Amino acid sequence: MLRKNRLTMAVSAALGMSAAAVMPTVANAQNDQLMLEEVVVTGSRIQRANLVSASPVTQVDAEEFKFQGTTRVEDLMKNLPQVYSNQNSSTSNGATGTATLNLRNLGDERTLVLVNGRRLPAGSPLQGGTGADINQIPAALIQRVEVLTGGASATYGSDAVAGVVNFVMVDDFEGVQFDYQFSQYQHDNDNGGLQQIVGDAGFPFPDGSNTGGEIQNWSLVMGGNFDNGRGNVTAYATYREIDAILQSERDYSACALNNQGDGCFGSGTSPAGTFIVGTADPYRVEG
C-alpha cells in the first residue's frame, strides 16, 4: 500500500513538471498571435462594370464633370480615346448645331446612345436622321456614363456596331441648382514671319492681342419628391451662347494664299440657317 502511494506521488509530480514546462510555450504562442496588426480581405465577388459585362465597359462618374469643369457633355466624352465627336461646339464648316458621339470613328450612325437604357432619337434633319444629339441631355443631371466599347449589334441592332453609350440620369433630385460658366479664347498676333509674307503680298493682316469665341452657359435645375418619395418631378433649363472666332482675326489664318498668291482665300461655307415648312425636307439659307 505504501509502495503504491509512493508510485502515485512520483507519477503526479512528473505530470506536474510536464504541465509547467508546456504552459510557457502556449503563452508564447498566444503572444505571437496577438502581434498581428493588419488583416487584408480581398473581395473577389464584388460587382464591377467590367466583370458583369461580356464586353469592356468604361464608366465616367459625375465627379469627372466637376473635376474637368465642363458644361458640355461632348467635351468630357472626347477625353476618352475611343470617342470622337463629329459635331461639337468647335465645328465650323458644315456645323448643324448638334453634338454627336462617334465610337472608333465608325460613324455616329453606328453608335447607339441611350438615356437610362432607352434610345435617344436622332438630332438634326441635316444629318439624315442618324446621329443622336446629346445636347438634349442635361449635363447637371448626369449621374454616370457607361460606354460599351465592344460591338453590340447582336443585342441592340445595326446602329450599335461601334458600341453603346448609356447616360444614367439622377431620378431623385431635390432642391434648386444654378450654374454659370464663362470662357473665351485669347491670341497674340505676333507671328512676324506670317505677317511679313502676307504684307509683302499686299494684303492686310491683324496685329496685337485678340480675344474671341466667348462662351456663356447658364443652367437651372429644380426638383422635388412627392407622395412620400414615391415620385419625383424635375425641371431643367439651359441657355448657351457661343460667339464665333473669325478667321480674319488670327494672323496665321487671316490670309490663305494659293500658289499664285493673287488673293486671300477664306472659308467657302457660310453659317447656315435651317427652317422646315410643312415637310421633312430641310432647307438651307446661305448668308
| 85 closest CA partner among 108, 109, 65, 61 | 108
CB-CB contact of 265 with 257 (8 Å) = yes
CB-CB contact of 184 with 212 (8 Å) = yes
- Cα–Cα distance measured from residue 202 to residue 272, given in angstroms and rounded to the nearest whole number: 31
pLDDT band of residue 253 (cuts 50, 70, 90) is confident
For 208-231, what is the mean pLDDT? 88
Tell me: pLDDT of 39 over 90.
no
CB-CB contact of 211 with 185 (8 Å) = yes
Phi, psi of 211 (to 5 degrees): -120, 150
pLDDT at residue 249 in the model: 82
Q: Determine the residue type at 217.
A: N
Tell me: pLDDT of 272 over 50.
no
CB-CB contact of 82 with 163 (8 Å) = yes
Tell me: pLDDT of 27 over 60.
no
Tell me: pLDDT of 72 over 90.
no
Tell me: pLDDT of 71 over 60.
yes
- CATH code of 51-169, in short, is 2.170.130.10
Query: First-to-last CA distance in the chain?
Result: 130
CA triplet 12, 14, 15: central angle to 5 degrees?
65
% of the chain at pLDDT higher than 70: 62
| 250 closest CA partner among 189, 192, 202, 208 | 189
pLDDT in tens, 169-179: 988 899 999 98
Domain ranges of the chain: 1-35, 51-169, 175-258
For 51-77, what is the mean pLDDT? 74
pLDDT band of residue 283 (cuts 50, 70, 90) is very low
Alpha-carbon 233 to chain mean position: 25
- Cα–Cα distance measured from residue 238 to residue 98, given in angstroms and rounded to the nearest whole number: 15
CB-CB contact of 139 with 65 (8 Å) = yes
For 143-160, what is the mean pLDDT? 78
Q: Tell me if residue 186 falls in helix, strand or coil.
A: strand
For 255-278, what is the mean pLDDT? 52
% of the chain at pLDDT higher than 90: 7
SS (H, E, C) 228-282: CCCEEEEEEEEEEEECCCCHHHCCCCCCCECCCCCCECCCCCCCCEEECCCCCCC
Alpha-carbon 255 to chain mean position: 37
pLDDT band of residue 168 (cuts 50, 70, 90) is very high
Q: Which three cell numbers stand for residue 208?
A: 496685337
